[in-house]
Structure 1
Amino acid sequence: MKTPIRFTALALSLMLGSGVACAADLKVGVSMSAFDDTFLTYLREDMDKQAKSYPKGDGVQLQFEDARADVVKQLSQVENFISQKVDAIIVNPVDTASTKNIINAASKAGIPLVFVNRRPDQKDLPKGVVAVTSDDLEAGRMQMQYIAEKMGGKGKIVILLGDLANNATTNRTKGVKEILAKYPDIKIEQEQTGTWLRDRGMTLVNDWLTQGREFNAVLANNDEMAIGASMALKSAGTKPGSVLIAGVDGTPDGLNAITRGDMAASAFQDAKGQAVGSVEAARKMAKNEPVEQNVIIPYQLITPDNVKDFK
């Protein structure tokens, strides 16, 4: 009887050891503003890869939730994470002006909070709250400077705005207009929101063309709307390259559009950099290790000359 007992004890020991290892993995709740957003899909995938890159027993288990562009739903998800007693929370905010309740809830519970991709509007974040983002002002400046030079400093542009609830839209557009201030002969013909969507970008540009509006360039707050603009111009029979189109993100579809000549430029937003930065920040904060409170992942200009470097 002794031998079976010894093997049973050994098996139990291994099981308990395995359980301890699994329990050591940090549990992090992640609320994304929308799963169907193209760039955020890449961001989510890179976050998952980063979480799985850590050694077993010293890693991170991510629980993703889709807020579906609903502020109330996102707050509810954060409250659920808190009730589950997760070790940290990562939020890609639906509305950057409506993050106060999320911050208050996490802070009251003493759970580390990381905002990724979109920074809350408030200037100073409290202790225990970190933002991992990119400078959207720089993205707007970058794309507009390149297009302004290609236009020879004169002409008309239209601007496709992202979701008006996000400061990414505000800041990218502000960056565009900062550069325009140096080029008084470049005028804004139209400026409307396409809510980050390809089909909305296509519809808006198609409407402007139908109205007989003339413009030399399209400045889009993201690649999806830029691609939509390109599709509308193609459908209208516009000569390829006669209207310059610039986006933001440097998504695979955006890179292909630049390679084909459908887009003139994009500002590369590093999804992997933001993903690694946010997951690592959550991990360190959960382990009471020091972190930088505002992590900025730089943009890079993509043009036909260097597009191959981003593929």
Structure 2
Amino acid sequence: MKRKILAAVFLTVTATSAFTGTDLILAAEKTEETAVQKPDMEGIDTENTKIGISIYQFEDTFMTLYRTELVRYLTEELGFKEENILIEDGKNDQDRQTEQVEGFIEDQADVMILNLVHASAAPQITELCSEEGIPVVYINRQPDSLEMERWEQEGIQAAYIGADARQSGIFQGEEIAVTENQGDINGDGEVSYIMIQGEPENIDTQYRTAYSVKALEEAGVETRELLAQTGDWSQSQGQKIMEEALDEFGNDIEVVFCNNDAMALGALEAIREADRTVGEDIYLTGVDALEEAVQSVVDGEFTGTVFNDYFSQSYGAAELAVKFLKGEETEPVTLIDYIKVTQENAEEILELVNS
């Protein structure tokens, strides 16, 4: 399958490279006959090894794609038994998720893969696991730098794999900067925008918010913030915020930045209902490259999105877990590149996310 081919390519990419989506697709085509470099499973008791997985919220569309691919890779590719994959829904409740971690410990999990409700809980969770000698791989939501430095300094079996959210924000700003008028639809010399944000404490929210605007300004564009409001990653909240913003600011809104595609898809519904047209009198960007969002880029209803490569991230998380099980050293942080999605490569990216 093409996703397997891509994993071999994507896992070689760091968060500082400048590959485009087309670059990666061409690289994948050149390696069509190349097998994925799976981890060496020698010495791993795949029949009995237990892996505890907790996802912050199953309702999150992106994390549904991520966990589905993670479980598929663990079972179909690496040979772990499905009945030993202990997977829980944190339901966006950190106390509940902490109890799930305690449950994994009671069930004698050999390793954990955790998508925290709150990244600030990492020190507590790490201590719980470390006291029991259970390695932990954190995914998607990055603990703070001091915590990750502590793992290395104290020899704690913990690691994080994800993507650098600053890069996704930069890509969003660049998608606006390359439009014909650089987002300044009314020609008044500045871009008036609204920002629909994820959860306030989430580092992805903070970086995507700051760096999308920074990238636009570094392209020589003056900006004016009309509104920045939390939509909690939710499509329904994105639509509600956009409806209210259109009522308040009307045609003054030239650009809509959304910290993820779910909120951007909600915003798109409100834009349609207001008889505004993306690409003509308003611009809209998101992050994640959900299938519906990429199709909207193809159809001209999104200015762009950014592919948050859950294939490489999920495979990398599984492979870090295997390294811990084998007693091998791991890097405390692994970063995977985002890919800018525009009309130039959207159809190719759509093929990838549908593979």
Write the deviation string for residues 226-283 of structure 1: whole angstroms up to 9, x where unpaired: 1111110100111342211100000111111111211010111001111101111112
Alignment match, 1:155: 191
Q: Structure 1 stretch 221-230 or stretch 166-175: which is displaced more?
A: 166-175
**Unaligned regions of 5+ residues in structure 2, if any?**
1-43, 184-189, 351-355
Q: Secondary structure at the match of 1:249?
A: coil
Q: Return the alpha-carbon distance in structure 1 between the equivalents of residues 118 and 100 of structure 2.
A: 15
Alignment match, 2:122: 99
Equivalent residues in 2 for 1:1-311, closer than 5 Å: 24-54=47-77, 56=79, 61-125=84-148, 126=151, 127-150=156-179, 151-152=181-182, 154-182=190-218, 183-213=220-250, 214-241=252-279, 242-311=281-350
Q: Return the alpha-carbon distance in structure 1 between the equivalents of residues 275 and 93 of structure 2.
A: 38
Contact 2:192 2:223 in 1 (8 A): yes
Q: Return the alpha-carbon distance in structure 2 between the equivalents of residues 197 and 57 of structure 1.
A: 33
Query: CA shift at 1:176, angstroms?
Result: 1.6
Alignment match, 2:32: none
C-alpha change, 1:208 and 1:274, in structure 2 (3 Å) is same
Where does structure 1 differ by over 4 angstroms across 4 or more consecutive aligned residues?
A: 55-60
Contact 1:244 1:263 in 2 (8 A): yes
Contact 2:122 2:147 in 1 (8 A): no
Q: Which amino acid aligns with 2:100?
A: Q
Query: CA shift at 1:157, angstroms?
Result: 1.0
Contact 1:88 1:111 in 2 (8 A): yes
Query: CA shift at 1:164, angstroms?
Result: 1.6
Q: Return the alpha-carbon distance in structure 1 between the equivalents of residues 172 and 214 of structure 2.
A: 12
Instruction: Kindly name which structure, 1 or 2, has the bigger radius of gyration based on alpha carbons.
Output: 1
Q: Return the alpha-carbon distance in structure 1 between the equivalents of residues 228 and 245 of structure 2.
A: 11
Q: Return the alpha-carbon distance in structure 2 between the equivalents of residues 304 and 257 of structure 1.
A: 10
Q: Return the alpha-carbon distance in structure 2 between the equivalents of residues 138 and 60 of structure 1.
A: 37
Query: CA shift at 1:55, angstroms?
Result: 5.3
C-alpha change, 1:81 and 1:58, in structure 2 (3 Å) is closer
Q: Which amino acid aligns with 1:221?
A: N
Q: Which amino acid aligns with 2:320?
A: A
Write the deviation string for residues 269-301 of structure 1: whole angstroms up to 9, x where unpaired: 001111101111112201212322211111010
Query: CA shift at 1:141, angstroms?
Result: 0.7
Alignment match, 1:12: none
TM-score by length of 2: 0.78
Higher strand share: 1
Q: Which amino acid aligns with 1:282?
A: A
**Unaligned regions of 5+ residues in structure 1, if any?**
1-20
RMSD over equivalenced CA pairs, Å: 2.0
Contact 1:87 1:111 in 2 (8 A): yes
Aligned length in residues: 291
Q: Return the alpha-carbon distance in structure 2 between the equivalents of residues 48 and 185 of structure 1.
A: 45
